């Protein structure tokens, strides 16, 4: 076995280090350049956000839907939307997921949903992101499998999915035996005070059996101190880019809050 030294690439992810600042950065710039070259858009104008507020796509037309959820009967509008994604990649290809050494290794989650955002099925979108030491380590955006009949029901589904991921993350990190703080209560933040209240009390207000089951699971996880559901203001809900279109300014602010930015200017050692 030969020691090849420190890794600089892993599955098209470039690893950059600055030991003096105790920073590590993960970049996909090389892979993005390959994608832009493949679709002949390497010289395109850069974009700020892949999807902006008021963007809507329907199933019977969609090429990318909400960034790839559907693939049928593409139209000119959906080709334009696909090009918008490419321009976003061009404008952010130097972004890196940055990790800095820290003594505060708490895992914190954020979760939210839209409501009936899919034009054809009227299903909602769930999203969550978990941060370790202020850096994103796990995230997801997915169409819900059932039709929620209210905003609260949609958020219950999102809350259930986030708490399930939180429990898995806690188990996984505990198995690594490198972070003592994982034994603390794992907090998940929501910008809806009703969800926070109901998660701590014995009443869901839903007549849907599938929603009730998820609600009871959430309440049991809170009661057994596996997770804690806390309230946060709307402006601090960093998971919004995973559930809805935002203004370019708001989108950029949320992305940078996850420590995904272009400020890491370091070379490989």
Give the pLDDT confidence score for residue 97 in this predicted structure.
86
| The predicted structure's pLDDT at residue 9 | 87
d(CA 113, CA 142): 10
Distance CA 16, CA 36 (A): 22
DSSP 126: E
Token output for 259 = 């420590």
Percent of the chain with pLDDT over 70: 82
Q: Which pair of structure tokens corresponds to residue 91?
A: 């404008």
Domain boundaries, given as residue ranges, for the chain:
103-237
pLDDT of residue 10: 86
pLDDT confidence of residue 266: 36
Superfamily grouping for domain 103-237:
Ribonuclease H-like superfamily/Ribonuclease H (3.30.420.10)
| Cα distance between residue 63 and residue 38, in whole Å | 18
Distances (CA, A) of 58 to 66, 95, 122, 157, 257: 9, 31, 10, 23, 31
Strand partners, 231: 190
How many other CB atoms are found less than 10 A from the CB of residue 94? 13
The sign one gets for the Cα dihedral 127, 131, 135, 137 is negative
Cα angle vertex 242, ends 239, 246, to 5°? Answer: 90
Q: Which residues in the chain land under pLDDT 70?
A: 52, 54-75, 77-78, 181-183, 203-208, 258-269
């Amino acid at each position: 076995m030969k020691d090849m030294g420190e890794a600089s690439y892993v599955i098209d992810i470039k690893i950059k280090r600055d030991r003096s600042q105790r920073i590590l950065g993960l970049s996909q710039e090389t892979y993005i350049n390959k994608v832009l070259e493949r679709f002949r858009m390497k010289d395109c104008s850069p974009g700020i956000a892949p999807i902006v507020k008021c963007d809507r796509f329907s199933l019977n037309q969609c090429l990318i839907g909400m960034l790839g959820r559907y693939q049928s009967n593409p139209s000119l509008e959906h080709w334009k939307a696909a090009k918008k994604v490419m321009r976003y990649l061009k404008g952010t290809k130097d972004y890196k997921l940055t990790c800095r050494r820290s003594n505060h290794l708490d895992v914190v989650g954020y979760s939210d949903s839209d409501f009936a955002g899919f034009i054809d099925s009227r299903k909602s979108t769930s999203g969550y992101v978990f941060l370790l030491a202020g850096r994103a380590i796990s995230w997801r955006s997915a169409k819900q499998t059932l039709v929620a009949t209210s905003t609260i029901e949609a958020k219950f589904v999102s809350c259930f999915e986030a708490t399930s991921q939180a429990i898995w993350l806690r188990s996984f990190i505990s198995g690594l035996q490198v972070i003592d703080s994982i034994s603390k209560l794992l907090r998940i933040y929501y910008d809806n005070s009703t969800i926070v209240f109901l998660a701590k009390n014995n009443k869901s207000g839903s007549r849907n059996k599938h929603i009730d089951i998820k609600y009871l699971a959430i309440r049991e996880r809170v009661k057994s101190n596996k997770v804690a559901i806390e309230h946060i203001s709307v402006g601090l809900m960093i998971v919004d880019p995973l559930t809805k279109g935002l203004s370019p300014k708001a989108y950029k602010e949320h992305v940078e809050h996850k420590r995904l930015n272009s400020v890491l200017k370091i070379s490989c050692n």
